[in-house]
Amino acid sequence: MVIGILNETSDKRVAVVPALVQKLVKEGHSVYFEKGAGLTASVTDTAYEEAGAISKERNSILEESDFIPTIHPISKDEATQLKANATLLTLLQPFQTDEFYKGLSVKEITAFSFDMIPRSTIAQSMDVLSSMASIAGYKSVLTAADLLPRYIPMLSTAAGTIPPAKVLILGAGVAGLQAIATAKRLGGQVEAFDTRPAAKEEVQSLGAKFVEVEGAADASNAGGYAVEQTEEYKQKQKALIEEKVQKADVIITTAQLRGKPAPTLITEEMVKSMKEGSVIIDLASSTGGNCALTEDEKTVVKHGVNILGSSQLAAEVPEHASQLFSRNIENFLKILLVEGQLTLDFSNDILRSSCVIYNGQSVYGETDSLIKKNTEAEKEEAIEA
């Protein structure tokens, strides 16, 4: 099998690092890489070559590869260059847009979307969303510290004592928990809010105070996402958050709803009540943001508050982010490859859930049809044999 590594044109990360290349080559696969693919992630072309990969032009990689894993989808025009029956692995986010994957009917392409992998215990080792969220949570606190015109830790000096910064984390999922841990390491006074009561123990285990609003809807089956809440709960939540926001020096928001706009947790009126120079880092900006004044991939100053909207902070730690992404791919390949060959066993829940295009046809949300198609293919192979 030929595996292609492309340069992520709008990202500092790379999907596959030399450590995985070495394993793939050892297993008998050919690996092609685009020159400069890993440079922004501290991976040289020489490192790829030493691992056994061969440098090729981008067009050649697209035309000759059987399997291409990327972080961001390739363009529609590039999709037309793929060889027949090629397989893609990327972040298609079909619940947000179907524009891209509708155009893959050419050449019977099959595509798996990393963001559709079930967020279950068995799939943790290939959960890109969690890997990247952890890095984003870490980086969000460092970014906030850089923007904040105040210290984060408490400092006792000859000139007097500086009190610790108050850090409020809204959403205690993977990103939120890493943000809590990082803010605590920096000496901040940390509070965290989450609609999931189960998050309380995790928040407290990291040394933060849990801000609790009673009456939340059950989010245990939401795959790590928040869920829509009742109007009564939203009003109680708004009142409590408003109280906490006024005192906060740093706010980091992470709450997203799958397939829907992110919930607005911080209104413009709340921003107006914050201290001059305070910072909001909104990690849900790509789906509208948790702050009403967030602008995606921009830093703006509104009412004296620095507001950074970014859903791609993991890309700002490109070396380790690439290593983790590559390991996620490696673990996905363990169930996708059987004796070195791509084997689409749709009885496997991970493959079935993450496959959004099968032989050029959209199968997003049609898991039963995948099992049926898989069974029919097995029957055809048996007849041919």
Pick from 85-89, 191-195, 343-347, 364-368: least confident: 364-368
Q: Evaluate if residue 224 carries a pLDDT over 60.
A: no
Annotated catalytic residue, options 22, 45, 119, 125: 119
**Domain 2-125+318-372 matches domain 134-316 at the CATH topology level:** yes
* Structure confidence by residue, pLDDT tens digits, 89-140: 999 888 876 666 665 666 789 999 999 999 889 999 999 999 999 999 999 9
The model's confidence at residue 21, banded by pLDDT at 50, 70 and 90, is very high
Average pLDDT, the chain: 90
Active site residue 150: no
Annotated catalytic residue, options 124, 246, 361, 362: 124
Q: Is 151 helix (H, G, I), strand (E, B) or coil?
A: coil
Active site residue 119: yes
Return the pLDDT at 371.
64
Active site residue 130: yes
The model's confidence at residue 77, banded by pLDDT at 50, 70 and 90, is confident
Active site residue 362: no
Annotated catalytic residue, options 45, 66, 105, 225: 225
Annotated catalytic residue, options 65, 113, 130, 326: 130
In this structure, which CATH number among 3.30.950.10, 3.40.50.720, 3.20.20.140, 3.40.50.920 belongs to the domain 2-125+318-372? Answer: 3.40.50.720
* Domain spans, the chain: 2-125+318-372, 134-316
Active site residue 124: yes
Q: Evaluate if residue 181 carries a pLDDT over 80.
A: yes
Annotated catalytic residue, options 115, 127, 249, 282: 127
| E strands in the chain | 2-5, 30-34, 54-56, 67-69, 87-90, 110-113, 155-157, 160-162, 166-170, 189-193, 209-211, 250-253, 279-282, 298-302, 305-309, 337-338, 341-342, 355-358, 361-362
Question: What's the pTM value of the predicted model, to 2 decimals?
Answer: 0.90
The model's confidence at residue 278, banded by pLDDT at 50, 70 and 90, is very high
| Percent above pLDDT 90 for the chain | 76
Return the pLDDT at 385.
38
Q: Which residues contact 327 (CB under 8 A, 6 or more apart)?
A: 20, 125, 131
134-316: CATH topology is Rossmann fold (3.40.50)
